[in-house]
Chains A and B, each alone.
Chain A
Amino acid sequence: MTGKKKKDMNHMGYVFVAPFLIVFLIFSAYPVIRTLYLSFTQYKGYGAPTFIGFDNYKRVVTDPIFWTALGNTAKIWGINIVLQLGLAFLLTIVFSDIKYKMRGLSVYRALFYLPNLIAATSVAFLFKVLLDWQFGSLNQILIKAGIIKSGINWLGQPGTAQLVVAVIGAWMWFGNSFIMLMAGVQGISRDYFEAAAIDGAGRWRTFGSIIIPLLKPILLYVAITSLIGGLQLFDIPFLITDGAGAPSNALNTVVLYLYNSAFKYNNVGYAGAIAYLLFFIIGIVSAIEYKVMYGKKED
């Protein structure tokens, strides 16, 4: 395989990657690197930044609000990911089972994806109305059904508020995860399934020993992107609490704190430090995820 022709072709890689790389360096890398510079300065968003070394970083690691926010984010993400991936997996199993031959995949797939089509602003607005303590439909239904005696203040208590945000996230994204997993399954040759069926492998064994290993690259993608998306949780808590992170700071996520620091309190340099600490944490967790799934480095 080390023929001359093949080697010649490899330089084509640069051509294929070039458009991406150029735009990426200008529009993505530059702003992010500028943020890195700002994280070492005291900068209010106007005037000139003053270089202050590691002060912002020293401050953020001892900032109790940062750690509370990180804890909140982790908690919400944890609940969210279990619900979201659990549901997506369940659906994948159901639809990839060649014995059931479930019909209507395309219809269901489209329906499950629907929540993802609505802008976060609308989703937040909708849930605020639905979960309203006095007038919300959910409480009205639960009371009528005799499940609860009086309305639950879903968004007013730390525990339920976090649960609500996690459920909203799962509701918005399970269809997306499902489509990803199904796209992967459809990429697997039917031969494997038929061979498994001939061998008499059960549903769960087929799933465990064929689908999961072959889906690994897609699974890794879903796991890492949902981790990144989850730890960067921002818009729903922002919109549902009018930017404040109430009740009792339970919905104050790291990126919400970052956003408020930068744009509300004008501590842009400090926000930069928060951004990079969060990035560092996401990096570590992603690396662990990668290791767990592959055991060793790929390629």
Chain B
Amino acid sequence: MKMKKIMSMALAGIMVLSMVGCGNKAESATDSAAADSNSGKLVIWTLSEDLENFAKHYMETNKDVQIETVIIPPADYTTKLSAALRGKAATPDIIVGEPQMLPDFEDAGYFENLSADPYNADEYSDKLVDYVWKAGQDAEGNVRAISYQATPGGIYYRRDLAQDVYGTDDPAVIGEKFKDYATIKQTAQEVRDKGYRIFSDTGSLRWFAITDPWVVDGKINISDEKKEYMDTAIDLYQNKLVAFAPEWSAAWFSSMAGPIPMNAEWQELDEVDANAEQTQVFAYALPSWGSLTIRDNAKDNAGNYGVCAGPTSYFGGGTFVGISAYSKNKAQAWDFVKYVTLTEETSKWWAETSKGDIVSMKSVLEEYKDKENEAYGNQKTYQFFYEEAQKIDYTTVTRYDDQLKVFYGAAIESVQKGEKTKEEAMKEFYDKAKSAYPELSE
């Protein structure tokens, strides 16, 4: 009676066993393959596919070297890297970090000191944009990681809308409209009067909040400038002067190509006129990589953008490349790092391959200065970013910036939506900041 049952169980068992068998065979095959090619092999752990392209290019000329690139999602990168390097694993030879990750990695001793022998990286310091070089240094000024890219920011605006509102699309004139918070507020109103919105979301303002440091001598520094940032963000939001489309949302992407729905979050819609149901976004504040995002999503608006400076020269992100302190193949790894970050041909090749990524090599930026960018109405974007990159003041940057900005942004958001008073929101901000960084005080 239960024969059927037992038979089917046995069948399942056989199936399972056969699957295991197959899997094992397949696995051992790759193991031996990996073991055979051990000589001259480099393993890269990175955040995006950039380095995979570099590696392929490198292998074309260095045929005896084998490079394996592992791309790890940014949210998990730190966890994975820490887990491996805490155990002093020899596996990744090349590791990377974004500027905000670097101080922790440096403290933990993950990066080889590139200022020391035999690397002596300091002799290359003139080659790169200054702020990029400084970002890769640890607290003692030793070089730990170097970046092939520079990520200065700008404000990308729609030329047709600028013509409509101001009768000109000249970057110098439009730049003036963003010169400080008070002017931004006024601009927002002027843009609104024509039915547009100055930014997709008030999050755009956060980039500018670096004119003075977030932390001074272990104290969280909420200066007047940061208070003004908060007030401006609240003001723009509550007066419905932004499009309520946060960065990376579907609405944000499609706003680059054309009008998006302007659903007021509030239920009483009487005050909103019919043609306000759709709106267009006037400008986006993003680091240089954002110029590619906008270009790739602009569709019919391609060529219809311009780029101008914001209230401060800022930067955001960037992949910094270094050598794991536990790598067993450091000489080869250094050759690769040098090739990626300190070689002019590579830098040029990357600028071409990436179709517009801003590189950190000064000589290349100089060379491309007069290059016109079709996607930006033939503006000389290289020149613009080169100038912005040189203006970045890295002395105001602290290791806490990114996280504090996130907390501050959350505080602003809860005031904007009327969920908390400013005092309550600030209290929560300090709570969070001190919980994340017990060493900081109010």
Binding site for B on A (CB under 8 A): 44-47, 59, 63-65, 129, 132-135, 139, 149-151, 153, 156-158, 242-244, 246-249, 260-261, 263-267, 270
Task: Decide if B417 touches A247 in the complex (CB within 8 Å).
Answer: yes
Chain B residue nearest to A243 in the complex (CB) = B75
Contact of B250 among A63, A132, A249 (CB under 8 A): A132
The A interface, classified by DSSP as helix, strand, loop or mixed, is: loop
Bound CA–CA A59/B431 (angstroms): 12
Nearest chain-A residue to B427 (Cβ)? A64
- Contact between B267 and A266, CB atoms less than 8 A apart: no
Is B108 a contact partner of A263 (Cβ separation < 8 A)? Answer: no
For A149, the chain B residues whose CB sits under 8 A away are 267, 269
Per-residue 0/1 for B172-191: is the Cβ within 8 Å of any A Cβ (1 yes, 0 no)?
A: 00000000000000000000
Contacts of B438 in A (CB 8 A): 59, 267, 270
What separation, in Å, do the CA atoms of A134 and B413 have in the docked complex? Answer: 18
Given A45-B108, A134-B263, A150-B264, A265:B436 Cβ within 8 A: yes
Q: Could you say which residues of chain B place their CB within 8 Å of the CB of A264?
A: 78, 403, 436
Residues of B within 8 A of A (CB-CB), count:
38
Query: Does B108 contact A261, Cβ atoms closer than 8 Å?
Result: no
Chain A residue with the shortest CB-CB distance to B428: A249
Chain B residues, Cβ within 8 Å of A134 = 244-245, 249-251, 260-261, 263
List the interface of chain B (C-beta within 8 A of A).
75, 78-79, 82, 85-86, 104, 107-109, 244-245, 249-251, 254, 260-261, 263-265, 267, 269, 403, 406, 410, 413-414, 417, 419-420, 428, 431-432, 435-438
B300–chain A nearest beta-carbon distance, Å? 18
Interchain CB contact (< 8 A) of A63 among B85, B245, B269, B435: B435
Q: Pick the contact of A248 from B82, B269, B410 — CB < 8 Å?
A: B410
Question: Which residue of the partner chain B has the closest CB to A247?
Answer: B413
Query: Which 7 pairs, one residue from A and one from B, show the smallest C-beta to C-beta distance?
Result: A46-B108, A265-B436, A134-B251, A248-B414, A151-B263, A150-B263, A135-B250
Instruction: Supply 19 further A-B pairs (C-beta < 8 A) apart from A134-B245, A153-B244, A264-B78.
Output: A47-B108, A132-B251, A133-B251, A133-B263, A134-B250, A134-B251, A134-B261, A135-B251, A135-B254, A139-B263, A150-B264, A156-B417, A244-B406, A244-B410, A248-B410, A248-B414, A248-B417, A263-B82, A265-B437
Query: Shortest distance in angstroms between A66's beta carbon and chain B's nearest beta carbon?
Result: 8
Contacts of B403 in A (CB 8 A): 264-265
The answer for the CA separation of A243 and B264 in the assembled complex, in Å, is 26
Residues of chain A within 8 A of B249, CB atoms compared: 132-134
A267 to B433, CA, bound (A): 13
A-B contact pairs, 30 of them (CB 8 A): A44-B107, A44-B108, A46-B85, A46-B108, A63-B435, A132-B251, A133-B249, A134-B261, A134-B263, A135-B254, A135-B261, A149-B267, A150-B264, A150-B269, A156-B417, A158-B419, A242-B75, A244-B410, A246-B410, A246-B413, A247-B414, A248-B419, A248-B420, A249-B414, A260-B436, A261-B435, A261-B436, A263-B78, A265-B437, A267-B438
